[in-house]
Chain A
Amino acid sequence: MNVDVLEDERHHRFVLNMGPQHPSTHGVLRVLLELEGEYAMSLQPVLGYGHRCHEKIAEYKPAKSFMPNTARMDYLGALIYNHGYAQLLEKATGIEAPQRAEYIRVITSELNRIQSHLLWYGAYLLDLGAFTPIMYSFDDREHILDILEDVTGSRLTYCYYRVGGVCRDIDDKFIAGTRQFIDRLRSRFPMYEDLVNGNVILQNRLNGIGDLTPQTCARYGVTGPLLRGTGVAYDMRRAEPYSVYPEFDFEIPTETKGDCMASFLVRFREMEQSLRIIEQALDRLPEGPIMAAKVPKKLKIPAGDYNSSVEAPRGELSYYLVADGSDTPYRLKVRTPSYSNLSVVSEQCAGMLLSDVVSAMGSLDLVIPEIDR
C-alpha cells in the first residue's frame, strides 16, 4: 500500500511506519501513524504480511486434517483453537467425546490460557520498558510448557485433541505436576503484585489510557478481557457454555473503567480463575475412555452449516463451517478475536501520545498470525 501525499490541512504531519518489524508489535503488523509532534493523530493498521491462507487450505483437505493448522493460527492458544475445531466437527457429525476427554480438554485448555496470559504479561511489560518481569513470568510459563509437553508431545503448536476425544491419556505424573504448578503460581501472585501491579510507573502509564466503552466494543466486535474491562461480563464459557464448563464454579473477572489498567487487571485475575477451574477438574476427573468408541476413518460431514464458539485467551473464537456432504468443508470461516480487537485501535488511539499508543496496543494482546491467518 502506498502512502498518499497528505492534503493541505495535514501537510505538517509526519507519517511514520510502526512495523512490520517493530518490537512492540510482536509480529508482522504494520501501523501507519500520522504524527503531529509526539501525538498520533490517526492510525491505520496494515495487515497481510503473515497471511497463509488457512481458511482456503481448509477447503482442500479432509476436515479432520485441518487440526494442525488451527494451532498455527494462534500460537499462544493452540489448544483452545484445537478445542473449538474438534467441537465443531463433533457437532457436525454427532460424535460425542467421552467425559474424561472433556475434562482433559478443559484442564489442558486452561493451562494453555494461563500460559498465554503469562507470556502477554511479560511481553506487555517489556513493551512498556520493564525488562525484569518477563524473566519471572517466563520462569512460571516454562513449568506449564513442561507439563503440557509431557502429555501432548509439543511445546507450542499442539495438536492434541482429536474428533471424539484426545490422543493421549493423562497420568498421575501430569496430575501431580499440575497440582504442584497451581500451588507454585498461587504463591507467586503476591510477588507479581509487589514487583509489577503496584508499581507507580506502571500505574501512571496504564491508568486512563485507551478508554473503551461497552458501546465501542459492541460496534467493533471487541471481546475478551478488553470487553470485560469495560464492565460487561461476557465470556463464552458462561454466555454459551460448552464442554464441561457449566460444572465448574468460577468467576468472570470484570473491571469498570475500560482503560489499559482495567484489561490488565482482568487478565491477571483470570489466571487465578483458570487455576480454580483446573483444580476442580482434577478433583472430579472421571475414569473411562479418552476417545469415542466409533470415529469413522473418513469423516463425512452432513450437508448444512455449523458453528462452534469457544473463549480464546483474547476473546471469542468462532468456527463457521458450511458442508456439502463430503468429507471436505465447502467453506470454513474463522472468527478470530484479535482481528476484531485490532480494528478498534484507529478510534481508541487517535490523538494519543506515541508512547501511549504502545501501551494501548499492548493491552490488546495481539497475536498477529491469528489476525492474518
Chain B
Amino acid sequence: MKSYFSELFTGGWSLILGLKVTIKSLFSPIVTVQYPREKLEITPNYRGHIDLVKDPENGSHKCITCGSCMRECPSDCIVIEGEKREGVKGKVLTVFTLDFTKCSLCGACVEACPTDALDYSNEYELAGEARSDFYFDILKRVEERK
C-alpha cells in the first residue's frame, strides 16, 4: 500500500517536472522559421548542383572541353561536347548538360577540373514535377547569368 502511494507520488512528480520544461519553452523565443514566407540564409559553402564559373576576363566560362569531369563522374551524369572552330585555339564548348536525377553531389567533377571552371551552385529549391525538369543545360545557365 505504501509503495503504491510512493509510486504514485514519484510518477506524478515526474510528469510535473516534464510539464515544467514544456511550460518554460512556451515562453521562450520561437526557433522554427515560417518557410517559404521566411527564409534562412544558406551558407556559401553549400554544395548544390554544379555550375560553370563566370570568367570575368572574357565574360564567358573557363571550360576547355577536356572532359575530365565527364570521365571522373561516378554516375555518368555529365555530357560534354566541343568542336574545333577556325581562329580559336583549342576546342569550343558546345554542349554541357547535367542529368541531376542521377547526380549524387559527390564533387568529383569539381575536384577533377584542371581550370577550376566548375563550382557548386547555391540552389536548394529544386522540386520538380517531371524528370525533364532535372536535365540542366549548364552552358545555357552560364550564358544567361550576368
Contact B43 A150 (CB under 8 A): yes
Q: Let me know if B101 is at the binding interface, CB within 8 A.
A: no
Chain B residues, Cβ within 8 Å of A195: 17-18, 21-22
With both beta carbons as reference points, the residue of chain B lying nearest to A65 in the complex is identified as B74
Residues of B within 8 A of A203 (CB): 14
Q: Mark A144-170, 1 if CB is under 8 A from B, else 0.
A: 001001111110010100000001100
B108 touches A194 (CB 8 A): no
A66 CB within 8 Å of chain B: yes
Partner of A159, one of B10, B72, B105: B105
Residue interface mask A318-333, B partner, CB < 8 A = 1:
0000000000000000
A196 within 8 A of B: yes
Residues of B within 8 A of A146 (CB): 43
Q: Is A61 an interface residue (CB 8 A)?
A: yes
Q: How far is the CA of A139 from the CA of B28 in the complex (A)?
A: 13
Residues from chain B with a CB closer than 8 A to the CB of A159 are: 104-107
Q: Which of A151, A153, A168, A194 contacts B17 (CB 8 A)?
A: A194
Query: What is the bound-complex CA distance between A34 and B15, given in angstroms?
Result: 35
Min CB gap A121→B, angstroms: 15
Q: Chain B: which residue is nearest A67 at the CB level? A: B106
How many residues of A sit at the interface, in one of the four size bands? 20 to 34
Taking the closest CB of chain B, its distance from the CB of A253, in whole angstroms, is 22
- B31 contact set on A, CB distance < 8 A: 139, 142
CA distance A328 to B107 in the complex (A): 20
Cβ A154 vs Cβ B108 within 8 A: no
| Interfacial chain B residues near A61, Cβ < 8 Å | 74
Asked if residues B45 and A68 are in contact (CB atoms below 8 Å), the reply is no
Q: A194-B18, A196-B18, A198-B14 are in contact. Are A150 and B45 (CB under 8 A)?
A: yes
Q: Which residues of A pack against B, CB within 8 Å?
A: 61-62, 64-69, 72, 132, 136, 139, 142, 146, 149-154, 157, 159, 167-168, 191, 194-196, 198-201, 203
What are 8 A-B interface contacts by the 8 Å CB criterion? Answer: A132-B22, A142-B31, A153-B46, A157-B105, A167-B107, A195-B21, A198-B17, A200-B10
B interface residue numbers (CB < 8 A to A): 10-12, 14-15, 17-18, 20-22, 25, 31, 43, 45-47, 72, 74, 104-108, 111, 120
